[in-house]
Structure 1
Amino acid sequence: MSAYPTITVAEPFPAPHAGHAENEALRVCQLRDIRTVECALSDLASVARGKIQTTAEFSEQRGTRLPSIIFGTTVVGGEPRSVYEDLIPCTYPDVALTPDWATFAPDPLIAHRATVLCDVGGGFTTPKGIAVEAAALSPRSILKRVLKRLDERGLAALVAPELEFFLVAIPGARHGTSLPPAPSPFHPNVRESFIDIFSLERTSAFEPFFTTLFAACRAQRIPVTGFSHEAAASQYEVNFAPAAPLAQADAVFRFKRLARDVALRYGFAATFLAKPYVEGPGSGMHWHMSMQHRDSGRNVFSGADGAASAELLAFVAGMQRHALATTALIAPYQNSYMRFQKHEAAPAAASWGQDDRSVAFRIPVSNAANRRIENRLPGADANPYLLLASMIAAGLDGMEHQLSPTAEPDPLPLSLDAALQAFRHDDWTRALFGAQFVDTYAALKGHELAQREQAPSGLEWDIANLLHHA
C-alpha cells in the first residue's frame, strides 16, 4: 500500500452578512491570521488571472489593478496580432479589479491565504478610436448583465451543473497522445483497464482525492453533493446542489481550479479537456435550470394545472434558435467538436425531448414545483459564465417571442472554425455580447486553432496545451 500525502484543508470563513461583507472579510483576515489575499477573475478561456497581495496592501487598496492584456491572451499565452491591431491597445492600459465581497473565502490548500473573485472596471480606447468599458470583456460581468435582464422581468433562476472530468497520469516530456488512467493513491501500480461505469470499487480507489476535494469545496462554499464513476475509464462526475446562476458559475470556476490542484498534490492530473481520448465518451458540463416568479416563487415552467407551461417550450425554442450561433461558447476548442463528431452521449443537434438523454435539451421527469430543463450540449471545457449567459439569454428570447420548439433542428457546427463564423456574424450574439467581445473572442480562438493546425497532431497539441487549462 502506498503512503499518500496528508493534505491540510482550511476551515471555511463565516458566511458574510448582506451589507457587511467587506468589513467582515477584513476582520476575518485579522482573526484567522490571513497574510496574503488573492484577487482573481476569469479571462475569456476561464483561466484564473489575478494578483496576490499582502493583507496590508489588499486592505488599503480594496482590490488591485492589472493590464488589459488579461482579456487579450489565448489559453496558451498567445497575443494575436489582430487583437492588438484592432481591439486592445498595445500600451496595455490598466483595468481595476474590485472584490465581490460575498465571494471572500480561504484558499483551502495554502495556509494563511484568502481569495476573492473580482469584477472589473475602467476602460480604454481601441487602436481604432473606440471607447470600451473593461466590463464588456469580462465573462462574469456579461453574465451579471444577462441576469439583470432576468431580474427586470420579475424572474429568478436556479441552476445545477453536472461536471465530468478525467483523472489521468501526468504525461512525460515525450507523451504523444498516450494518456494512461491515473494511479490510485492507495495502490500506484493499479490502474483502471476497462470502463467500469458507476463502479463503487473504482471510485473508492480515489477516496483520498475526493475527500480532500470536497473538504476544499466546503471551505469555498461550493455546493457539491456527490460524485460517481462515469462512462469512460477513469472518468468521474460531480454533482452540485441548485443555486443562483452567478454563484453557481463562480462555484464551477473555482471547482475546476481546486480539482486540478488537489489531483497534482496526489501525483496525477484532473482534466476537463472535452475529449482526451479519440474513442469513448467525452466530458460534458450539463446544466439543469428552473425559473421562478420572484414575487411568488412559483415555477415558471409549470402551468396552473401542473403541466409543462408554454414558457418552458418557448425557452427550449429560444435555445434551439440560438444554438448554432453560440456553439463557439459551449465548445471553445477544436477538441470540443470530437464530442459531437463521435457523439457517445453527446448530441450533435439542438434537439429536445422528455426524459431523453440523447437530446440536447432534456426535460427530466419531475413534479410541477421542480420542473426544469437540462442543457446537455456544453463541454466540461466551457467557460461557465459565458455558457450560462448565452443559455439564459437565448431562453428569454424564446419566451419574449413566444417561440415553439422544433422536432427537426439544424445540426451543430462540427468544427471550431464553422462555429466561430456563426458566432461572429450573428446579429443576436453581437447585440447580446457586444461587438468588442465577439470580435476579441473570435480572434483569440482563431489564433489557438491556427496553432493547433500547425502541430503534427491535433490531439497531441490538445494534451500538451489544454490538459491543465481547459
Structure 2
Amino acid sequence: MTFPSPSGSSLKEALSFLDRYPDVQALDIVLTDCHGIGRGKIIRRHELAAIYAEGRPMPSSLFGEDVAGDDVEATGLVNVDGGGDKRCWPIPGSLGLIPSTGRGQVLVSMYNDDGSPFAAEPRNALLGRIDEARAAGFTPLGAFELEFYLIANGPEDRGHHRLAPYALTGHRPDHRNTMAVDELDQMSPFLDSVYAGAEHLGLTLESVISEYAIGQYEITSRYRNLLRAADDVIIAKRLIRTTARRFGFEACFMGKPFGDQAGSGMHLHLSLADPDGNNRFADLPDGSLNPLMLQAIAGIRETIGETMLVLAPFQNSWRRFASTLYSPASDTWGLENRNVAIRVPANGGKGRHFEHRVAGIDANPYMVAAVTLAGAMEGIAHQKDPGPAHREDATPSSLGGSLPRSWRDSMDALEASAFARAALGEELHRSFLAVKRAEWSRLALMIPDTEWSLYGFVV
C-alpha cells in the first residue's frame, strides 16, 4: 500500500540514487534525537524504495532517551501505547552516499498517524518556527560553522586522550598554529576525503581552517535555507566522524574536550529574506544598520538566558565558558567583535547578517536554530531595541545580564520560560528538560578520578 509522504519526499529521488550507485548494497536511515545523535537502522538496498513509498516505523521513545541511549520515563515518551512505533519519512534532498563507508544515507523525520509532525522531534520544532516566519513574510536563511578536534585512537597518554597525527606525515601536532596553511596540508588526505564525500551528500562545505587550539579545526558551509542549513550540520558531522574512523582517528564534537585549550563552538549566521529573495537585513542606503536586524538582535538578547540549556546542553558544555575569550556566555552584541554573543561582521551591504556565537558544537542545530529564530521574530514583532553595541575592544569577563551561571541553573531557566515553551513546543520542552534532569542526576552519582586525587586521602 502506498501513502502520500508528509515530508514531501519523492520516490523518484530513491530510484535516481539506486540508478546512480548500482554497487551500493546498504544505507543508513538517520533520525536525529534531542542530543543531535543519529538513531535508526542500516537497511539493504532493496528496502529503500519502500521507505519512500510508505515510510518506515520507528519507536517514538527514541526522543525520550538520554545521551547514553537509556530511557527517561519522565519524558512521557517511553512505553506509550504499548511502545508502538510511529512512521518516519525521508527528508527531501538528504539521500546521498558516504564514500568512506560505502553506504548510502538518508535523514528521516517522524510523523503522527494523521500526517502531522511528531512534536517531540527537534527538527519539527524548527519547521514550526520557519512556518511562522514565512507567515509573517520572511524566509529564514543561515549557515553554521563547525569546530571540532581530531583525536588519536589507541593508548591514552597518562589517562588523557591524545591528538590525532597528521594524515599526510604521521607527525603529531604540538603547536597551536592558528590558520596555518601548512597545518591543513599535513591533514589534507583526510580533508580531501571529507570534501569528496560532501559532493555525494549534497553538502556545500566551504572553507576549512586550523582553529585556535592544537588539533582543532573549523569547517564552514554555504548560506542557504535555514532548515537545510541545520540538516547540513547533522550530515556534515556524520561525514566527518565516519571519515575520521577510516583514517584511524576519531572526530570529537565535545564542547570542551581539553581544559587548557579552546572549546568548540557552532556559530549560526542568520538573516531574513522577503518572498522575492531580497535580504531584509541589508544596510540602509546611508550605510547604517537596518532597524529590522537590530530588532531581531534585541529579541535574541532578551531570550538567550532562557535558552542557555539549548545552547549549552551538557555539563561539559559549560566548561567552554571558563574562559570567555571567543566563547561568550553573554547577552552582548557588537560590530566585528568576536568576544560578544551576537556579532555583526564587517562585510555588510546587501549581504548583511549577524552571527550567534554562544552555542557549542555539542548542541542540537535544529533546537539552536529554533530558539534563535523565535527570539529574532519576537524582537521584530515588538520592535525591540538592542541597546548600544559593545566597543570593539570590549572583552566580557563574566556571564552577562541575568543569564544562568551553571548547567543546573539553565534547566530551571528553561523550565520557567514561556518563550522557550513556545519556541520548542510543549512536548519537546517537557521531554528535553526531563532528559537533561536525568543526565544531571546520573552525573551527580559518578565520582571522577579528580575528586579521589584531591580529596580521597587528604581531608
Contact 1:39 1:97 in 2 (8 A): no
Which of 36, 50, 67 aligns to 2:26? It is 36
SS of the counterpart of 1:163? strand
1:262 matches 2:253: no
Q: Is the Cα–Cα contact under 8 Å of residues 61 and 83 in structure 2 kept in the other structure? A: yes
Of residues 146, 154, 173, the one that matches 1:163 is: 146
Q: Which of the residues 380, 384, 388 maps onto 2:365? A: 384
Residue number in structure 1 paired with 2:394: none
Q: Which of 422, 442, 445 is the equivalent residue of 2:436? A: 445
Percent identity, aligned pairs only?
Answer: 28
8 Å CA contact 1:299–1:368 kept in 2: the answer is no
Give the 5 Å matches for 1:216-295: 216-295=197-276
Secondary structure in 2 aligned to 1:212? helix
Rounded to whole Å, the distance in 2 between the matches of 1:90 and 1:456 is: 37
* Secondary structure at 2:149 match in 1: strand
User: 2: distance between equivalents of 1:440 and 1:134?
Assistant: 16
Partner of 1:180: 162
Which residue among 1, 5, 22 is the counterpart of 2:11?
Answer: 22
AA at the equivalent of 1:155: F
Question: How far apart, CA to CA, are the structure 2 residues paired with 1:20 and 1:456?
Answer: 48
What is residue 104 of structure 2 aligned with on the other side? 114
* Equivalences for residues 127-166 of structure 1 within 5 A: 135-166=118-149
Distance 2:153 2:443 in 1: 21
The residue number in structure 2 matching 1:336 is 317
CA distance in structure 1 between the partners assigned to 2:38 and 2:209 by the alignment:
27
Q: Does 1:214 align with 2:195?
A: yes
For the 8 Å contact 2:14–2:49, the answer to whether it is kept is no
The structure-2 alpha-carbon separation of the partners of 1:341 and 1:284, relative to structure 1 and needing over 3 Å to count, comes to: same
TM-superposed CA distance for 1:21, in Å, is 4.5
Provide structure 2 residue ranges, at least 5 long, that are not aligned to the other structure.
Answer: 1-7, 391-399, 452-459
Counterpart check, 1:71 vs 2:63: yes
Corresponding residue for residue 201 of structure 1: 182
Deviations 1:375-419 (A, max 9, x none): 111101111111011111110000001001135951532321111
Measured in 1, the distance between the counterparts of 2:254 and 2:283 equals 36
Partner of 2:454: none
Paired residue total: 432
CA shift for structure 1 position 302: 2.8
Distance, in Å, in 1 between the alignment partners of 2:330 and 2:378 is 19
SS class of match (1:402): coil
Residue identity in the other structure for 1:198: M
Partner secondary structure for residue 406 of structure 1: coil
CA displacement at 1:88 relative to structure 2: 5.8
Distance 1:227 1:392 in 2: 26
| Partner SS, residue 331 of structure 2 | coil
Q: What TM-score results when the alignment is normalised by the length of structure 2? A: 0.88
Q: Provide the residue aligned with 1:92 in structure 2.
A: 83
Please, which of 295, 303, 306 is the counterpart of residue 322 of structure 1?
303
Aligned counterparts of 2:449 and 2:443: Cα–Cα separation in 1: 6
1:217 and 1:61 mapped to 2: Cα distance? 23
CA distance in 2, matches of 1:299, 1:167: 39
Note if contact 2:281-2:353 (Cα within 8 Å) is conserved in structure 1. no
Distance 2:387 2:51 in 1: 53
Moved over 6 A (4+): none
Distance 1:344 1:450 in 2: 30
Structure 1, unaligned runs of 5 or more: 1-18, 125-131, 461-470
Looking at structure 1, the residues matched to 422 and 93 of structure 2 have their Cα atoms a distance apart, in angstroms, of 30
1:303 equivalent to 2:284? Answer yes
Shift of 1:31: 4.6
The aligned counterpart of 1:414 is 405
Equivalent residue letter for 2:163: P
Contact (CA 8 Å) 1:346, 1:376: kept in 2 or not?
yes
